[in-house]
């Protein structure tokens, strides 16, 4: 197992070579990956919004945005600009503090979760030991922001929407966590980097989706519900609740909800890619490619190509999932709130438990294939 390129190590070495103390060199490295990921996450919103508009249009046999930039790629920027310059309305008798804090609390955990998303062996902001568990913990904070927004808006639709959103995310967190637990059990680690490494070596055949097909489906359904994507977008069901907890929001505060939901979709897709689709691994393992073209795996140019391919693969897998999510939006009708809770508690939860049990049994029986 090669370690791949270590940008942090090289950067710190270069700075200490220039005469900086080691601590200062390391501290000056810290903001770089954070800024990069923050920018990447923000850009991913534009890409996802454009994809959503174009694919939705294709699904409905329209053309979609056309005039803002080539193929309408600047449409999301135009939308964002519109939200920025819109009047920021605070309705009468709202709770001004909670009204402002609500959207922020929804968005911050989503961006924080990018801490543990790996794009390569060393291309992760921090390889935490609690890794994927941090994401589960952070995503459980979001309902507080939703409740805050719903409560402070002084609107019954908002309050109902906020309560629904909180109930939905609490219900689907449990099957989500159980599906993750089965993967963690196979890789003997919570760290996202270890989870990907456990899938490495056999190319596409080693990916967790073959060993955890049920877990993959449970995770994907629960992740869609956590993102409030369409079959499960009850908190803002237009026919019933106007726009749920977003009803009274306008301008950039509404924009924050918008940003939060799209970044959350990309984040969930990235994590599905990491947990079940082999993360940055190529469909054919890099070792096999190296032996075919007859160079050592530690050749510098091969490592750079492999790192670039890794980032590309992670993003490609994530955006394939985003594409599926958008198609699902236009093909699956919205469920009712009671059907939603039934699906979560009476169907996904027992299946996730059985999946966990079966994984444990398989791990004991075939320790080679299931990470003994």
Partner 1 sequence: MNLAEGVQIVSFGILSLMVIGAALGVVLLSNIVHSAFLLGMVFASISGLYILLNAGFVAAAQILVYVGAVNILILFGIMLVNKQQDFVPLPNAWLGKLATAAVCGGLFALLSTMVLGTTWAISTEAAAGDGSVVLIGMHLFSDFLLPFELASVLLLIALVGAIILARREFIPDEQPGDPQPEGLKLPERPRDLVAVGSAPPDGDA
Which CA distances in Å does 276 have to 22, 47, 192, 305?
38, 23, 11, 23
Between 62 and 156, CB nearer to partner 1: 156
Between 72 and 162, CB nearer to partner 1: 162
Between 147 and 362, CB nearer to partner 1: 147
Q: Is residue 129 involved in binding partner 1 (CB under 8 A)?
A: yes
Candidate ranges 53-61, 145-153, 256-264, 348-356; the one touching partner 1 (CB under 8 A): 145-153
d(C-alpha 41, C-alpha 330), whole Å: 25
Task: Choose which of 136, 243, 327, 358 interacts with partner 1 (CB under 8 A).
Answer: 136
188 DSSP assignment: T
How many of the chain's residues bind partner 1 (CB under 8 A)?
28
Taking residue 84's Cβ as centre, other Cβ atoms within 10 Å add up to: 11
Task: Choose which of 115, 123, 166, 193 interacts with partner 1 (CB under 8 A).
Answer: 166
Least distance from partner 1 to the Cβ atom of residue 360, Å: 14
Helix orientation angle between 251-276 and 300-331, rounded to the nearest 10 degrees: 120
Q: Is residue 81 involved in binding partner 1 (CB under 8 A)?
A: no
Task: Choose which of 143, 215, 278, 279 interacts with partner 1 (CB under 8 A).
Answer: 143
Between 173 and 236, CB nearer to partner 1: 173
Q: Is residue 148 involved in binding partner 1 (CB under 8 A)?
A: yes
Task: Choose which of 141, 289, 358, 360 interacts with partner 1 (CB under 8 A).
Answer: 141
Question: 56: Cβ–Cβ under 8 A, 6 or more apart, which residues?
Answer: 64, 326, 329, 330
Q: Is 207 exposed, middle or buried (0-12, 13-18, 19+ CB in 10 A)?
A: buried
Show the tokens assigned to 196.
Answer: 């990907």
**Among 334, 342, 198, 322, which residue's Cα sits nearest to residue 272?**
322
Residues lying near partner 1 in the complex (CB under 8 A):
23-24, 27, 95, 98, 128-130, 133-134, 136-138, 140-141, 143-144, 147-148, 151, 159, 163, 166-167, 170, 173, 190-191
């Amino acid at each position: 197992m090669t370690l791949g390129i270590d940008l942090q190590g090289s950067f710190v070495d270069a700075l200490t070579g220039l005469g900086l103390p080691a601590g200062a060199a390391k501290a000056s490295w810290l903001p770089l990956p954070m800024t990069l990921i923050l920018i990447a996450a923000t850009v991913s919103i534009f890409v996802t919004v454009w994809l959503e508009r174009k694919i939705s249009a294709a699904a409905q046999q329209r053309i979609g945005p056309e005039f803002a930039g080539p193929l309408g790629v600047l449409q999301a920027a135009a939308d964002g600009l519109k939200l920025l310059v819109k009047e920021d309305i605070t309705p009468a008798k709202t709770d001004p503090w909670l009204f402002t804090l609500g959207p922020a609390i929804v968005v911050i955990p989503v961006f924080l979760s990018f801490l543990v998303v790996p794009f390569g062996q060393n291309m992760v902001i921090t390889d935490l030991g609690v890794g994927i568990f941090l994401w589960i913990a952070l995503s459980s904070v979001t309902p507080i922001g939703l409740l805050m927004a719903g409560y402070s808006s002084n609107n019954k639709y908002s309050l109902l929407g906020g309560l629904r959103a909180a109930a939905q995310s609490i219900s689907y967190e449990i099957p989500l966590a159980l599906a993750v637990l089965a993967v963690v059990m196979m890789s003997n680690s919570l760290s996202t980097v270890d989870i990907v490494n456990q899938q490495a070596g056999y190319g596409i055949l080693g990916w967790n989706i073959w060993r955890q097909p049920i877990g993959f489906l449970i995770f994907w359904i629960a992740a869609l519900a956590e993102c409030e994507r369409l079959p499960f977008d009850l908190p803002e069901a237009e026919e019933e609740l106007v726009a749920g907890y977003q009803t009274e929001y306008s301008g950039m505060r509404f924009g924050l909800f918008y940003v939060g939901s799209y970044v959350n979709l990309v984040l969930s897709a990235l994590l599905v890619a990491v947990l079940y689709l082999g993360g940055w691994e190529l469909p054919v393992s890099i070792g096999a490619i190296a032996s075919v073209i007859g160079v050592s795996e530690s050749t510098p140019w091969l490592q750079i190509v492999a790192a670039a391919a890794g980032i590309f693969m992670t993003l490609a897998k994530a955006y394939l999932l985003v594409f599926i999510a958008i198609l699902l939006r236009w093909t699956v009708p919205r469920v009712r709130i009671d059907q939603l809770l039934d699906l979560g508690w009476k169907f996904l939860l027992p299946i996730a438990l059985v999946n966990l049990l079966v994984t444990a049994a398989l791990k004991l029986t075939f320790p080679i294939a299931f990470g003994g």
